Amino acid sequence: MGEGLIEAEIVTWKVGVGDVVVLNQALVDVETAKAVVELPSPFAGTVVTLHGDVGDTMEVNQPLVTFEVGGELAPQSFEEQVRHDVTVEQRREPVLIGYGVADEDGPSARRTRRTSMRDSAPAPAVSTTAPASGPVRTTPPVRLLAKQYGVDLEGVAATGRDGLVTRDDVERARSGTASSGRRQSTPTGAMSSSRFVGREIEPWSSGAREERIAVKGVLKAMAEAMVDSSTHQPQAAVWLRVDATKMVELLSGLKHNPRMADVRLSPLTIVALAVCDAARHYPGINSSFDAEHNEVIVRRYVNLGIAADTPRGLIVPNVKEADQLDLVGMASALSTLVESARSGTTTPSDMLGGTITVTNVGPFGVDAAVAILPPGTGAIVCVGQVAKAPWVVDDEIVVRHVVELSMTFDHRQIDGALASRVIAHIGAFVEDPATALLAQ
Q: Quick one: 195 and 233 in the same domain?
A: no
Q: Quick one: 331 and 414 in the same domain?
A: yes
Of 356, 357, 358, nearest to 268 (Cα)?
Answer: 358
Q: How many Å is the Cα radius of gyration of the chain? A: 26
Q: Quick one: 240 and 325 in the same domain?
A: yes
What's the domain count of the chain? 3
The full 3-state SS of 409-427, as one line of letters, equals: EECCCCCHHHHHHHHHHHH
Task: For the chain, 440 residues long, give each residue's pLDDT as a single digit of tens.
Answer: 666 677 888 888 999 999 999 888 889 988 876 677 788 888 888 999 999 998 888 888 889 999 888 754 434 334 433 333 444 444 444 444 443 433 434 444 433 433 333 343 343 333 333 333 457 888 767 787 787 677 888 889 888 877 888 878 888 887 765 444 443 444 556 667 777 877 788 888 888 888 888 888 778 888 888 898 888 899 999 999 999 999 999 999 998 888 888 889 999 999 999 999 999 999 999 999 999 999 999 999 999 999 988 877 888 999 999 999 999 999 999 999 988 888 888 888 898 999 999 999 999 999 999 999 999 899 999 999 999 999 999 999 999 999 999 999 999 999 999 999 999 999 999 999 999 999 87
Contacts of residue 352, Cβ cutoff 8 Å, sequence gap at least 6: 2, 3, 4, 33
Of 352, 393, 358, nearest to 373 (Cα)?
Answer: 358
Q: Of 196, 214, 232, which marks where a domain is finished? A: 214
138 CB burial (10 A radius; 0-12, 13-18, 19+): buried
Q: Quick one: 402 and 305 in the same domain?
A: yes
Q: How far is CA 421 from the centre of its chain?
A: 32
Please give the Cα distance from 15 to 31 (Å, whole number).
Answer: 17
What is the pLDDT, as a whole number, of residue 34? Answer: 62
Buried b (16+ CB within 10 A) or exposed e, 244-280: bbbbbebbeebeeeeebeebebbbbbbbbbbbbbbbe
Q: Quick one: 287 and 330 in the same domain?
A: yes
CA distances from 263 to 48, 256, 257, 403 (A): 50, 11, 10, 23
Q: Quick one: 404 and 285 in the same domain?
A: yes
Let me know if residue 143 belongs to a domain.
Answer: no
Q: Quick one: 207 and 262 in the same domain?
A: no
> Which amino acid is it at 160?
G
Positions marked catalytic: 411
Let me know if residue 57 belongs to a domain.
Answer: yes
Q: Of 164, 197, 214, which marks where a domain is finished? A: 214
Q: Quick one: 80 and 92 in the same domain?
A: yes
Q: Which domain holds residue 190?
A: 182-214
What is the pLDDT, as a whole number, of residue 31? Answer: 80
3-state secondary structure of 59: strand
Please give the Cα distance from 151 to 154 (Å, whole number).
Answer: 9
The secondary structure element, H or E, covering residue 31 is strand 26-32
Please give the Cα distance from 43 to 82 (Å, whole number).
Answer: 9
What is the pLDDT, as a whole number, of residue 266? Answer: 94
pTM passes above 0.85: no
Tell me how far apart the terminal alpha carbons of the chain are, to the nearest angstrom: 39
Let me know if residue 169 belongs to a domain.
Answer: no
Q: Quick one: 228 and 328 in the same domain?
A: yes
Let me know if residue 296 belongs to a domain.
Answer: yes
Let me know if residue 294 belongs to a domain.
Answer: yes
Pairing of strands 304-306, 356-360: parallel
Please give the Cα distance from 81 to 92 (Å, whole number).
Answer: 15
The CATH number linked to 412 is 3.30.559.10
Q: Quick one: 88 and 31 in the same domain?
A: yes
Of 96, 97, 91, nearest to 28 (Cα)?
Answer: 97
Let me know if residue 347 belongs to a domain.
Answer: yes
Q: Quick one: 80 and 187 in the same domain?
A: no
Pairing of strands 194-196, 199-201: antiparallel
Let me know if residue 336 belongs to a domain.
Answer: yes
The CATH number linked to 52 is 2.40.50.100
